[in-house]
């Protein structure tokens, strides 16, 4: 008998500016009999991930990229800029921390743009005590995992004072406007050049602002399409695309496929995840 559980939780209030949400995914069942159970196709989210894996290696396949094998028990991923499919291991047991994009720069000195479409071994590059944290999390509940993580997080940056950075404001504006805002308007509001904004945003967030905004816009549109009976053409105009052809072109740029093809493989976990990041 197969089992597929995807649970989410919000962070404690003091960590809301750093963490979007937590998730736990557990899957059991014979992988040979039901291979689709262990496959998850996901749109790029604009978020950064810190993952705790309590099973075997994960394989990630992205559009026009070679397969990425994550065989670390604790991994830290950069921005994904295209559709990707995760091949999860038999008897999956994952705990994930979905971080706001700017949080990565508080955890590592590695340039964030260098981590795009890749993953690093978190206990080696971020903090060696993550391995001890992983061991403590192995056989406890989701709520206990969250409590343990937040205790660890507090010792790292949870109580640190954050200086205002204009790129963080840009992220908030893009999210608030559901991705429907231009780099030109953002630069004018900040009274900086577009070139300076593009360069600074990429260094801190990992993507250029227009690419990040496009990801946010598409995620919101697809989530609205999942949740409502609104016609696609109405959503296309609501999200400021010229027409369906314009939307299809932009969607294909980051997915290398059509919306219909994506919806055919979108599972409950991907839908739940999308709903969470667009709230």
**Domain at 242, CATH number:** 1.10.10.60
pLDDT band at 163 (very low <50, low <70, confident <90, very high): low
Q: What is the DSSP letter of 26?
A: E
Q: What is the pLDDT at residue 262?
A: 92
What is the reported pLDDT for 197?
94
Nearest residue to 44 (alpha-carbon basis) of 256, 204, 225, 260: 256
Q: Angle, to 10 degrees, between the axis of helix 130-137 and the axis of helix 142-153?
A: 160
User: Which ranges of the chain would DSSP assign to H, the alpha helix?
Assistant: 104-107, 122-125, 130-137, 142-153, 166-176, 183-190, 194-205, 209-227, 232-238, 244-255, 259-265, 268-277
Share of the chain above pLDDT 90, in %: 62
Q: Give the range of the structural domain holding residue 192, as residue numbers without chain letter.
A: 166-277
Closest CA to 213 of 233, 234, 241, 244: 241
174 with 272, same domain: the answer is yes
Average pLDDT on 232-256 reads 94
Reported as a single tens digit per residue, the pLDDT across 268-278 is 888 988 899 88
Q: Are residues 136 and 214 in the same domain?
A: no
Same structural domain, 17 and 146: yes
Q: Tell me, yes or no, whether 249 and 114 share the same domain.
A: no
Same domain, 37 and 101: yes
- pTM greater than the 0.75 cutoff: yes
Sign, CA torsion 207/254/213/228 = negative
Q: Are residues 131 and 178 in the same domain?
A: no
Question: What pLDDT, on the 0 to 100 scale, is given for residue 269?
Answer: 86
Of 76, 52, 48, whose CA–CA distance to 146 is shortest?
52
Q: At what angle do helices 183-190 and 166-176 cross, to 10 degrees?
A: 130
Instruction: Name the nearest CA neighbour of 163 among 204, 221, 129.
Output: 204
Task: Encode pLDDT of 175-208 as tens digits.
Answer: 999 999 999 999 999 999 999 999 999 999 999 9
The tokens describing 92, both together, are: 């999956």
Q: State the total domains in the chain.
A: 2
**Token pair listed for 65:** 């990229």
The verdict on 154 and 182 lying in the same domain is no
Whether 220 contacts 178, CB under 8 Å: yes
């Amino acid at each position: 008998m197969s089992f597929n559980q995807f649970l989410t939780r919000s962070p404690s209030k003091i960590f809301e500016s750093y963490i979007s949400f937590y998730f736990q995914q557990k899957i059991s069942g014979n992988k040979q009999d039901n291979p689709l159970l262990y496959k998850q196709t996901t749109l790029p989210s604009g978020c950064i991930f810190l993952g705790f894996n309590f099973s075997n290696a994960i394989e990630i396949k992205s559009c026009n990229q070679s397969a990425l094998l994550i065989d670390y028990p604790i991994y830290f991923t950069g921005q994904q800029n295209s559709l990707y499919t995760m091949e999860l291991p038999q008897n999956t047991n994952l705990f994930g921390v979905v971080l706001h994009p700017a949080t990565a720069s508080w955890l590592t000195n590695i340039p964030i743009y260098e981590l795009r479409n890749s993953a690093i071994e978190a206990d080696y590059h971020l903090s060696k005590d993550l391995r001890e944290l992983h061991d403590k999390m192995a056989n406890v509940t989701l709520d206990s995992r969250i409590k343990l993580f937040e205790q660890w997080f507090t010792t790292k940056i949870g109580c640190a004072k954050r200086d205002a950075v204009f790129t963080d404001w840009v992220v908030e504006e893009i999210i608030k406007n559901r991705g429907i805002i231009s780099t030109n308007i953002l630069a004018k509001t900040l009274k900086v050049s577009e070139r300076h904004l593009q360069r600074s945003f990429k260094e801190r967030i990992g993507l250029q602002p227009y690419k990040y905004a496009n990801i946010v816009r598409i995620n919101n549109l697809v989530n609205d399409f999942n949740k409502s009976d609104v016609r696609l053409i109405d959503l296309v105009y609501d999200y400021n695309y010229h027409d369906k052809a314009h939307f299809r072109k932009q969607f294909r740029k980051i997915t290398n496929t059509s919306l219909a093809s994506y919806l055919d493989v979108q599972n409950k976990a991907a839908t739940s995840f999308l709903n969470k990041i667009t709230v």
